[in-house]
Amino acid sequence: MSALFEYIIRLGDDSLILGHRMSEWCGHGPILEEDIAMTNIALDLVGQATSLLNYAGDVEGNGRDGDKLAFLRYDREYKNTLLVEQPNGDFGTTIMRQFLFDAYRKPLFEKLQNSADKQLSAIAEKSLKETKYHLKHSAEWVIRLGDGTEESHQRIQESLNTLWRYSSELFYTDEVDAELLSQGIITDIAEVRAEWEVTVKNVFEEATLHIPTNNWKQEGGRKGMHSENMGFILAELQYMQRAYPNMEW
C-alpha cells in the first residue's frame, strides 16, 4: 500500500465520518437557521470525502472508486481520527468537536496547497475555502457559548474536557508522513500544530474556557483502531451496500 494512498485515506475518512456525524443533525438543529448552517458543513465534508476518496482510488489503481472506499471497507481499514467519530452530544459538543478539527484542518489545507502532488494541492485549495468558513462559524459559537450564560459556559467547558483527549491524534505521524515529507508532498505537521495551538488558545481565552490540565491521550483511529462508536456509524453508512450488494442506485 503506497504512503500517498494511506495519507489521502486518512484525510478522506476524517471528512467522511465527520460529515456523517454532522448530517445526523439535519432536521434536529437548535434553530432553523443553524440547522441549515450545519447541513452546509455536512455537505462540504461529504464533498471533500468524495474528491479525496475518488483520488485515493485512482492512486491505488485497483478499480476501487470513492463509493467502494466509503461504503465497502472493514472498520480497521478506516483511518479517521477518534475525534471525528465521537457522538454529537449536545449542540456545544458538536461545535467543540468541529472547532478542534477546523482549527487543525485550516492550516493543514493551507500547507497542502503547495503540495508537490498536483491533485492533492487542487483538492486542498478548494477545501480550504470551505474550511475557513467552518472555522469562523465554529469559533464564533465556541465564544458565544463559552461567554454566554452560566449554563452554556458549563456545558461547553464540559464538552471541551471530554474531547480534549482526542485532539493530540490530529497531529499523529508515522512512516507514511515521513515518506511524503521527503517527497515534498506534505509539510512538517509541527507547523500545523503550532498554528492550531495559537488558534485554540486565543479562542478559548475569548470564550473564557480553560484548557484541561488532564493531558491523557486517546489515539488509534489513524491506525484503524477505533472506538465503539465506529461500528454503529458503519452499520448505518454501509447498510444499503451490505444489504443489497452489487447494485446501482
Partner 1 sequence: MSKKEWPLWEIFIRSKAGLNHKHVGSLRAADAEMAVENGRDVYTRRSEGISIWAVESKDVYASDPTEADSLFEPSDSKVYRHPTFYDVPDGISHM
Partner 2 sequence: MKDINISELERKFQEKIDKDIKIEPKDWMPDDYRQTLIRQISQHAHSEIVGMLPEGNWITRAPNLRRKAVLLAKVQDEAGHGLYLYSSVETLGANREETIDDLHSGKAKYSSIFNYPTVSWADMGAIGWLVDGAAIMNQVPLCRCSYGPYARAMVRVCKEESFHQRQGFEIMAQLAKGTPVQKEMAQDALNRFWWPSLMMFGPNDAESKHTAQSVKWKIKRHTNDELRQMFVDATVPQAELIGLTIPDKDLKFNEETGHYESGAINWDEFWEVVKGNGPCNKDRVDTRRKAKEDGMWVVEAANAYAEKRNRRKSA
d(CA 130, CA 118) in angstroms, rounded, equals 19
Q: Contact residues for partner 2 (CB under 8 A)? A: 20, 23-24, 26-36, 39-40, 42-43, 46-47, 49-50, 53, 66-67, 70-71, 90-92, 143-145, 147-149, 151-152, 155, 236-237, 239-241, 244, 247-249
Q: Which long-range contacts (CB under 8 A, 24 or more apart) does 213-216 make?
A: 214/161, 214/164, 214/165, 216/165
Residues 83-142 that bind partner 1 (CB under 8 A): 136-137, 140
Residue 148 or 212 with smaller CB distance to partner 1: 148
Q: Which is nearer to partner 2, 58 or 195 (CB)?
A: 58
- Interaction residues for partner 1, span 26-65 (CB under 8 A): 31-34, 36-37, 40
C-alpha cell belonging to residue 177: 508522513
Q: What DSSP state is assigned to residue 210? A: P
Nearer to partner 1, 59 or 96 (CB): 96
Query: Distance (Å, rounded) from C-alpha 234 to C-alpha 249?
Result: 19
- Over the Cα atoms of the chain, what is R_g? 18
Q: For residues 143 and 204, is the Cβ–Cβ distance under 8 A?
A: no
Binding partner of 67, given partner 2, partner 1, none, CB within 5-8 angstroms per partner class? partner 2
Query: 175 or 248: whose CB is closer to partner 2?
Result: 248
Work out how close the CB of 137 gets to partner 1 at its nearest, in angstroms, rounded to a whole number.
6
Give me the sign of the Cα torsion angle 56, 62, 63, 64.
negative
Q: Which is nearer to partner 2, 28 or 76 (CB)?
A: 28
92 binds, among partner 2, partner 1, none (CB under 5 to 8 A by kind): partner 2
Distance CA 83, CA 167 (A): 7
236 binds, among partner 2, partner 1, none (CB under 5 to 8 A by kind): partner 2
| Contacts of 121-128 spanning 24+ positions with Cβ under 8 A | 123/48, 123/51, 123/52, 123/55, 126/51, 127/44, 127/48, 127/51
89 binds, options partner 2, partner 1, none, Cβ within 5 to 8 A by partner type:
none
From partner 1, partner 2, none, interface partner of 136 (C-beta below 5 to 8 A by class): partner 1
Half-sphere exposure (Cβ direction) of 83: Cα atoms closer than 13 Å: 29
Q: Where are the beta strands (DSSP E) in 58-125?
A: none
Q: Which does 249 bind (CB under 5 to 8 A by kind): partner 1, partner 2, none?
A: partner 2
Min dist. Cβ of residue 179 to partner 2 (A): 28
Cell of 86: 465521537
Nearer to partner 2, 36 or 116 (CB): 36
The residues binding partner 1 (CB under 8 A) are 31-34, 36-37, 40, 136-137, 140, 144
